[in-house]
Amino acid sequence: MKNSKNVLNYLFGTATLGQLGEILDGRRQQKSDPVVYCIDQYFTKNPMIETLPFEKQDQVYYIDTSEEPHTDSVDSLVTTIKNSLTSGGFALPLSVIGIGGGITLDTAKAVSNLLTNDGKAEDYQGWDLVKKPGVYKIGIPTISGTGAEASRTCVLMNITKNLKLGMNSEHTIYDQLILDPDLTKTVPRNQYFYSGMDTYIHCIESLNGIYRNAIGDAFSREALNLCREVFLSDDMQSDGNREKLMIASYLGGCAIANSYVGVVHPFSAGLSVVLGTHHCVSNCIVLNSFEKFYPKEFEEFQRMKEKQKVELPAGITSGLSGDQFEKLYLSTIIHEKPLNNALGSDFKKILSREYVKEIFQRM
Ligand code: NAD
Ligand code: ZN
């Protein structure tokens, strides 16, 4: 097992968002220190905004969630932030805060890293390429499942390179989390299921991999227990279940920081890169056609889906060209670490071009 790091500080519980001001005040050297907020666009006109401890010098950016973050979109946001800091006479902000789902949390992580490390987002896509700690960052999730709040990566699409890959680094881990389950009350039902299932999928992939280890396994097992309690109950979005899913998401993020994903995520990344389908729904579509790779979990997934009466998009690959199937193959097979984790070093023999195409055709 590699030398592991987790989030240093976290608050958990309803109404803990109210403590953000105190946390910031505790770090402020001067009253005029600016804070950079990246906030999910959903909250533009939401009363939650009124409760944030904004100061006049703070910068607030609403993050568009119609597309998952791209290296280019992150670079342009960083340029805007740097220009604005310079014109206000500041070198760096006091903190970068991400408030939202995985898209917003990942954007804030990337911004924090790029404010202290020169170059472009794509320079850091890979493992342990970020050299300096980023700006002190606070993560406040408003939807549970991806574990982005806990993990050591921020996933970015790089269209030119046909690649979906994060800045995997210790410096990408949040310094402080505020886990306030009140914030997930408004998540639409299908989205709640898709994002929540990301935890389930991270953990089953980790437990079925060859790089599993005792600590990753312990995080995964408890996260899976919580997912089962939530998704096999009558009301997955009850107050108690939203709390449980927030904890599961955090534990799932820790699990994956200590191990690797498996076959679902590479196929899901292929769908996101080629068709633009979002991460969590893509994962569900992939697991839904993976009876062969994960038979027990496939069956449990069907029970959860039926219990919650959630529908999945169907026929998303119908009518694709040969060229598009080739791109799907290439953007799947590129994920060597997780595929090796799941299938061993001969994964390319198992996942032949024809077989991969056949699997995608079922989706
Ligand atoms: P998201 O950020 O994609 O948001 C999903 C939708 O829910 C958006 O429309 C958003 O506006 C909305 N939303 C968020 N909070 C809401 C709320 N409280 N009420 C109403 N609507 C709300 O959500 P996600 O599924 O958490 O994140 C997916 C992203 O996470 C992908 O970009 C994926 O690549 C990334 N990801 C990152 C990691 C990591 O370790 N860093 C792991 C897995 C996935
Ligand atoms: Zn995931």
Type and span of the H or E element at 49: none
Tokens standing for residue 291: 């009876």
Is the Cβ–Cβ distance between 234 and 263 less than 8 Å?
no
> What's the pLDDT tens digit per position in 286-333?
999 999 999 999 999 999 999 999 999 999 999 999 999 999 999 999
Is the Cβ–Cβ distance between 139 and 98 less than 8 Å?
yes
Q: What's phi and psi for 173, nearest 5 deg?
A: -75, 135
pLDDT of residue 258: 79
Q: Provide the pLDDT confidence category of residue 216 given band limits of 50, 70 and 90.
A: very high
Name the pTM for this structure.
0.96
- Verify whether ligand 1 is closer than 6 Å to residue 147 (CB atom): yes
Count of CB atoms situated within 10 Å of the CB of 336: 12
pLDDT of residue 162: 77
Q: Distances from the Cα of 265 to the Cαs of 121, 140, 260, 279, in angstroms?
A: 21, 24, 10, 9
Tokens standing for residue 108: 């804030």
Tokens standing for residue 227: 């997912």
Average pLDDT value over all residues in the chain: 96
pLDDT of residue 164: 82
Count of CB atoms situated within 10 Å of the CB of 318: 8
Residue 167, beta-bridge partner list: 126
Nearest to 156 by CA among 254, 73, 251, 259: 73
DSSP character at residue 54: -
Please name the residue ranges forming H helices in the chain: 20-27, 71-87, 102-116, 189-207, 214-231, 239-257, 264-275, 279-287, 295-307, 322-333, 336-343, 347-350, 353-361
pLDDT of residue 271: 96
Q: Provide the pLDDT confidence category of residue 67 given band limits of 50, 70 and 90.
A: very high
Percent with pLDDT over 70 in the chain: 100
Q: What's phi and psi for 319, nearest 5 deg?
A: 80, 10
The residues, any chain, with a CB within 8 Å of residue 47's CB and separated by 6 or more, are none
pLDDT of residue 172: 97
User: Does the pLDDT of residue 34 top 80, yes or no?
Assistant: yes
- Verify whether ligand 1 is closer than 6 Å to residue 71 (CB atom): no
- Verify whether ligand 1 is closer than 6 Å to residue 305 (CB atom): no
Dist CA 112 CA 99 (whole Å): 14
For ligand 1, mutation pick of 197, 267, 279 (most atoms within 8 Å of CB):
279
For ligand 1, mutation pick of 65, 167, 169 (most atoms within 8 Å of CB):
65
Q: Provide the pLDDT confidence category of residue 3 given band limits of 50, 70 and 90.
A: confident
Ligand 1, atom 23: closest residue by C-alpha: 101
The residues, any chain, with a CB within 8 Å of residue 249's CB and separated by 6 or more, are 141, 144, 145, 146, 147, 149, 150, 196, 198, 199, 223
CA-109 nearest atom, ligand 1:
41
Residue 36, beta-bridge partner list: 59, 96
